[in-house]
Amino acid sequence: MNFFWVWSAKRLKRYTIVVLAALFTAGILYVERTQIPVFSTGEKPVAIYKVETEDKDIALTFNISWGEERALPILDVLKENSVENATFFLSAAWAERHPEIVERILEDGHEIGSHGFRHEHYTKWEDDSIKKDILTAHEIIKKVSDTTPQFLRPPNGNFDERVLEIAEKLNYDVVHWSIDSHDWLNPGADEIIENVVSKASPGDIVLFHASDSAQQTAEALPDILDKLKSDGFTFVSVSELMTGADTTTEEIR
């Protein structure tokens, strides 16, 4: 039997980087209609998917790559429930077309990360094309939001060791997730709620979408927020989740 070490973090400091989800010798994760192997690389750059903490902190994250109908209702729900520190990963091409929604995200107190520029799989590209896309997105998001993103969630959640190394050289931390709401599948609000609430634990990073393809996220969110609050969870941004942690290791079989 093979053994693999996956890095997690206990109240993490930036660049004392955490984990990748796990190395599966015979399997892969299904991520937004694409399959990627998620693996630990020892001293090499890795992606953040969760923070190990005793505090019941949880980070809500939203990917946006197209459309303008779903983002505002989601922002309204978050505001109505006094959630002011979600993290929105924005496609720069989308942000350039919808600066008013970007402004609303920031006004409501949320954090912005990069979701790249062209919404295509980085793992299929040459190094220079990946670098160009990340830098193009960086400049556009910086211009539109007047903020400097430090977190990258590659388009489609698709990355490999090469993408991680390029991102690190460009001063980005790649952020994955530990809970997928599967809201992009539009399975019904009840299933989205169950996908999140049944799996929630301290330090989780939850994946949602605010693109127009995710039609049921705003409907599911109020119950998700209520249930997580009643279970004692506090909502934090990705950067808040990562602040001040120490790394630990866990053996995965």
Q: Which domain holds residue 65?
A: 54-237
Residue 79: inside a domain? yes
Question: Is 17 within the bounds of a domain?
Answer: no
DSSP letter (8 states) at residue 13: P
Of 247, 238, 232, nearest in space to 200 by CA:
232
Domain for residue 146, yes or no? yes
5 belongs to a structural domain: no
Residue-level pLDDT at 168: 96
C-alpha span between 6 and 190 (Å, rounded)? 32
Query: How many DSSP H helices and E strands does the chain contain?
Result: 8, 12
Task: Give the pLDDT score at 68.
Answer: 93
List the CATH number of the domain containing 102.
3.20.20.370
Contact between residue 122 and residue 133 where contact means Cβ atoms under 8 Å apart: yes
Residue 197 lies in a domain: yes
Distance of alpha carbon 233 from alpha carbon 117, whole angstroms: 33
- The confidence score (pLDDT) of residue 21 equals 37
What local confidence, expressed as pLDDT, does residue 6 receive? 34
Angle between the N-to-C axes of helices 217-230 and 189-197, in degrees from 0 to 180, rounded to the nearest 10? 30
pLDDT at 101: 98
Tokens 């505002």 sit on residue: 72
pLDDT at residue 44 in the model: 79
User: Would you give the distance in Å from CA 250 to the centre of its chain?
Assistant: 22
Q: What is the mean pLDDT of each run of 10 residues along the chain (253 residues)?
A: 34 39 33 36 79 94 96 98 97 97 98 94 95 98 97 93 96 97 98 98 97 97 98 97 54 30
**Radius of gyration over every alpha carbon of the chain, rounded to an integer in angstroms:** 17
Q: Write down the pLDDT at residue 45.
A: 85
Residue with tokens 């978050």: 78
CA 37 – CA 29 distance, rounded (Å):
6
In a domain, residue 10? The reply is no
Give how many domains the chain has, as a whole number. 1
Residue 69, CA atoms < 13 Å, CB-side half-sphere: 5
Asked if the structure places residue 227 within a domain, the reply is yes
pLDDT at 187: 98
Q: Are 185 and 216 in contact (CB under 8 A)?
A: no
User: What's the confidence (pLDDT) of residue 163?
Assistant: 96
Beta bridge partners of 56: none
Per-residue tokens: 125:
């590209």
